[in-house]
Amino acid sequence: MSGMVLRAEGVTKRFGGFVALQEVALHVGPGERVGLIGPNGSGKTTLINCISGALASDEGRIEFQGRDVTRLPPHQRTRLGVARTFQIPKPFRSMSVLDNLRVPLEYAAWSRAEHRRIRDEAMETLELIGLQHRAGTSAASLTQVDMRKLELARALAAKPRLLVSDEAMAGLSSSEVDEILEILLALNRRGVAVIMIEHVMRAVMKFSERVAVLVAGRKIADGNPQAIAADPNVIKAYLGE
């Protein structure tokens, strides 16, 4: 078994004539913090959708902890330990915040949860995120920032080995960005690998051990954050053209 938590190779995805991803490779080691950046429309969310299973890639192979998951539906990948958040939060609106967490605990993490303690486990996760006071609130009436936190909490409740955070900080204030960053770092300290997709550069730089850059469906760089920031190709992709 390879040490890699995620090994995506040659991922290609086309929408009709439009090539959204062209042979993208991405590896993530256990507990690693990877930033994924790139201009709008470069394919970041598409890549995440292929990794999580929401979309089927046309070519390529995706392995999670040594196991080939390329043909598995999303819910099975989540059960194996891949969790993701959505750019625009998708809470279960008819349920309370607490019940929102029960769903992943009862389904994704069913074998890893202690069944009689589901409520307690949900509350623990809420405490980690800082939403414990909102446990009984209806998910539909949360503030924007709390909804982002609920997205993260729900992903956490699935007890993942790999968490993909898709622009969780978009449009947030500076202090709110720090809150989310703290949550992700605390999560990482527990051994969860994180792929962070962000446009908030200071967060990416602060958080990532490694940064991958996607431009027009291709990965053009992958390495040390400082080196990436100085890479002329990356700068051109963001500022030029």
Can you give the binding site for other proteins, defined by CB under 8 A? 52-54, 73-76, 78-79, 83-84, 86, 90-95, 99, 102-104, 106-110, 154, 157-158
Query: Which whole-number Å values give the CA distances from 98 to 95, 136, 154, in the listed order?
Result: 8, 6, 10
Q: Between residues 33 and 102, which has the closer beta carbon with respect to other proteins?
A: 102
Closer to other proteins by Cβ: residue 51 or 177: 51
CB of 94 to other proteins, least distance (A): 5
53 or 225: CB nearest other proteins: 53
Query: What minimum distance in Å lies between the beta carbon of 58 and other proteins?
Result: 16
Instruction: Supply the minimum distance, in Å, between the C-beta of residue 201 and other proteins.
Output: 26
Q: At CB < 8 A and 24+ separation, what contacts does 124-131 make?
A: 125/101, 125/153, 125/156, 125/157, 126/97, 126/98, 126/101, 126/153, 128/153, 128/156, 128/183, 128/186, 128/187, 129/153, 129/156, 129/183, 130/179, 130/183, 131/97
Report which of 234, 177, 224 is spatially closest to residue 35, judged by C-alpha positions: 224
- Of the pair 134, 219, the CB lying nearest other proteins is at 134
- Nearest distance, CB of residue 106 and other proteins, angstroms: 5
